[in-house]
Amino acid sequence: MSDTPPTLPANQEAPPADSADFPEGYQPPLVAGGLFVDPNWVPRLADRLGSVRTDMGGVPEHWPQDLVPVMYPHLPNGFWREVPVEVLSLTSISPSNGPLAGGTPLTLTGTGFVDIVAINWEITSYSPADFVVVDSEHITCLSPTGAPGPGSIDVEVVNAADDVGRLPSGFTYIAPDPQITSLSPNMAVAGTPTSVTVNGSNFDPDAQVEVNGTAQTTTFVSASRLTANYTPVAAGTVQFSVRNMATTAESNNMPFTVTAPPPAPTISTIVPTTGSIAGGDALVITGGNFVPGMSATIDGVLVTNGQYINPMRFECTSPPGAAGAVDVMVTTTGGTATLPGGYTYAPPPPTVTSITPNTGPAAGGVQVTLAGTNMTGATGVSFGGTVGSGFSVVNATTVNVTTPAHINGAVDVVLQHPAGNFTSTGGFTYLDTPVIIDIQPNAGVAGDALHITGGGFSNVSPVSGVTIGGTVGDTISVQDDNNITVQAPVGPTGTVDVVVTDGTYSNTLPGGFTYTAGSDDVMPQSSDSSDVQAVAQTIQENAETIGEAAQNIGEAAQTLTEPSGTDPASSPTSEAPSVSEGTTEAPVTGQEPDMTEYEMDQLWGIEPAQGSTPEPASSS
């Protein structure tokens, strides 16, 4: 090796003048790569040129770009050698795109990747801890998270000298492809409109469901759910897919099965056949050719809780409906079957909330108003098992009825209705008032002893509590609350009413007693002289009890023996027959008097009003 610095090749510039100060035989220190660099030479260049890069052994900043002053003492032809300068540049990124989520492994390719201090992504910046410089031409790292959305960004590499290598639109963020994970349902019958739910991920708001590439009517629910209306045409398998229209990204395919339509269904029975108009009744429909996904209606209203059990059985819950018989229909992909009038909506049973009045006589006859609900269609009201009279339905909340007779006490009131009876326990109380149940005998003559049975007799007056044909009975005896004995008073032949009263309430037994014809105790109807004599005789026999009235009647009887045309008042010897205590002598005549020739004093009453009739006096 020469002790003097070698001369420079003709195509190289001479080093700065200060290099002439190097002593002959100068040996610079050996550095990496077999290069010798004078540590004193570099500062000298810095003093002369203002700045020096030291990465390549002290390259002056203003040194010609295609030359690097490197000392090769072992080279025979010179101390300086021409070395091309590696300018910092970024030429490519592989791959050039990735998802918005980031994390894609990348390789950055370029030149001058020496002393790199940063990578700028337009949306963020990496420090040396975020990347690896493989060599002067390669750097590896992961893509950052994209924001705010898909698109391209510029990428820069920066070295310690703030040199920048830039790659415009060097990396592109792309939206992820949509993915389908399931279809529900995943099969349908040909010809049947079907709503299909598409489940998956990365669905955009403009996502479109396609079947074998044909767009279907699509509804965006969320980024993970879409619905599509699909009517399959023929049996077979079709492919569902999703396309995000803005990015044209398309999903994977998901198979969907289309089956041939089944035969039309049939209906045999529905159990039960009757239910509430409010609905909610559990029903079982039987028939044939039932299939999953079938439906049923009652009177055109879709049932609830429909459940296909097997090809012959379908269970459901009745919907509300109007009262009456209605049609039942089932529908499958094979058609529709109808059971005319197969189900009957029954009106709801009635309720009774009040009874006004809720008390009354045991004889009945009180009009009562029942208030409640659902009373339309009611057929009657019973009190203690006996149906009342005069029943009428005013409206859905009101009915009227007249109480029947009943023994005293609280009784159940039952509103009768086709939808079910309503019982008001102890809803009406019969007071202790007279009630006639029977009278025996129910036919006879005046004076006959009669036995009346019934109830509420405790307060019946023994003086005036019983009338027969409007006349107070004789010898009224109230034996107990249920029995009365009485003698029939005089009455006309025929049927008459019997009435029992306690002074406040009364009870009538219409036609309860019949006076028989021909009775001696029946009031005489004729006015011939023999009847008059019989009455007179009877009056005389009871003179002790009738006092002065009997004497007047005796005088009248005596005048009946006078010959016709004689004035009894003109005879000075005429005297009224004497009346002895306890006896009365009836005058005897051989000629019946003509009553039209005599005038009697007015008679206001006779006590007693009954008695036996004596045989007429003999004319002899």
Q: Is residue 524 part of a domain?
A: no
Q: Tell me the range of 29-38, 205-214, 540-549 where mean pLDDT is highest.
A: 205-214
Give, for 48, the enclosing helix (H) or strand (E): helix 41-49
Relative to beta strand 351-356, strand 225-230 is unpaired
Least confident of 216-230, 462-476, 571-585: 571-585
Is the pLDDT at 308 greater than 70? The verdict is: yes
Q: Is residue 521 part of a domain?
A: no
**DSSP annotation string for 443-457:** EE-TT-EEEEEEE--
Higher pLDDT, 91 or 583: 91
Percent of the chain with pLDDT over 90: 53
Average pLDDT (69-84) is 41
Least confident of 60-74, 86-100, 292-306, 489-503: 60-74
Structure tokens at 255: 């198979």
Say yes or no: 72 and 5 in one domain: yes
Average pLDDT (525-544) is 44
Least confident of 99-113, 139-153, 339-353: 139-153
pLDDT at 607: 52
Q: Is residue 103 part of a domain?
A: yes
Give the residue from 126, 154, 174 where a domain finishes: 174
pLDDT at 407: 86
Sheet strands (E) in 65-150: 89-94, 97-99, 105-111, 116-120, 125-126, 132-135, 138-142
Is the pLDDT at 597 greater than 70? The verdict is: no
Say yes or no: 540 and 582 in one domain: yes
Give the residue from 35, 65, 85 where a domain finishes: 85
Is the pLDDT at 541 greater than 70? The verdict is: no
Is the pLDDT at 54 greater than 70? The verdict is: no
Higher pLDDT, 24 or 346: 346
- 132 touches 141 (CB < 8 A): yes
Other residues' Cβ atoms within 10 Å of the Cβ of residue 93: 22
If you average pLDDT over every residue of the chain, what do you get? 77
Report the amino acid identity of residue 58.
G
Closest listed residue to residue 337, CA positions, set 402, 268, 420 = 268
Count CA atoms within 13 Å of residue 472 on its CB side.
12
CA-based end-to-end distance of the chain: 215
Least confident of 132-136, 229-233, 269-273, 434-438: 434-438
pLDDT at 608: 56
Q: Is residue 294 part of a domain?
A: yes
pLDDT at 85: 52
Average pLDDT (553-565) is 48
Count CA atoms within 13 Å of residue 392 on its CB side.
6
Least confident of 158-162, 208-212, 454-458: 454-458
Closest listed residue to residue 481, CA positions, set 508, 500, 504, 509 = 500
Give the residue from 447, 482, 515 where a domain finishes: 515
**What pairs with residue 402 in β-bridges?**
367, 389
Band (548; pLDDT cuts 50, 70, 90): low
Say yes or no: 227 and 160 in one domain: no
Q: Is residue 403 part of a domain?
A: yes
Average pLDDT (74-90) is 55
Say yes or no: 54 and 28 in one domain: yes
Q: Is residue 527 part of a domain?
A: no
Average pLDDT (274-302) is 94
pLDDT at 135: 94
* Angle separating helix axes 548-559 and 529-541, nearest 10 degrees: 150
Is the pLDDT at 42 greater than 70? The verdict is: no
Is the pLDDT at 180 greater than 70? The verdict is: yes
Say yes or no: 443 and 382 in one domain: no
Q: Is residue 420 part of a domain?
A: yes
Sheet strands (E) in 474-619: 474-480, 483-487, 494-501, 506-515
Say yes or no: 164 and 240 in one domain: no
Is the pLDDT at 210 greater than 50? The verdict is: yes
Band (558; pLDDT cuts 50, 70, 90): low
Average pLDDT (579-593) is 41
Band (612; pLDDT cuts 50, 70, 90): low
Helix (H, G, I), strand (E, B) or coil at 34: helix
Is the pLDDT at 355 greater than 50? The verdict is: yes
Band (457; pLDDT cuts 50, 70, 90): confident
Domain that holds residue 11: 1-85
DSSP 316: E
Q: What share of the chain is helix, strand, coil (3-state, %, to 5)?
A: 10, 45, 45
Other residues' Cβ atoms within 10 Å of the Cβ of residue 267: 22
Is the pLDDT at 56 greater than 70? The verdict is: no
- 496 touches 466 (CB < 8 A): no
Q: Is residue 520 part of a domain?
A: no
DSSP 17: G
Count CA atoms within 13 Å of residue 187 on its CB side.
11
Least confident of 351-360, 386-395, 511-520: 511-520
Average pLDDT (260-268) is 91
Say yes or no: 505 and 536 in one domain: no
pLDDT at 150: 75
Band (419; pLDDT cuts 50, 70, 90): confident
Say yes or no: 168 and 97 in one domain: yes
Distance CA 36, CA 27 (A): 8
Distance CA 21, CA 36 (A): 17
Say yes or no: 76 and 141 in one domain: no
CATH code of the domain in which 248 resides: 2.60.40.10
Say yes or no: 76 and 2 in one domain: yes
Domain count, the chain: 7
pLDDT at 36: 41
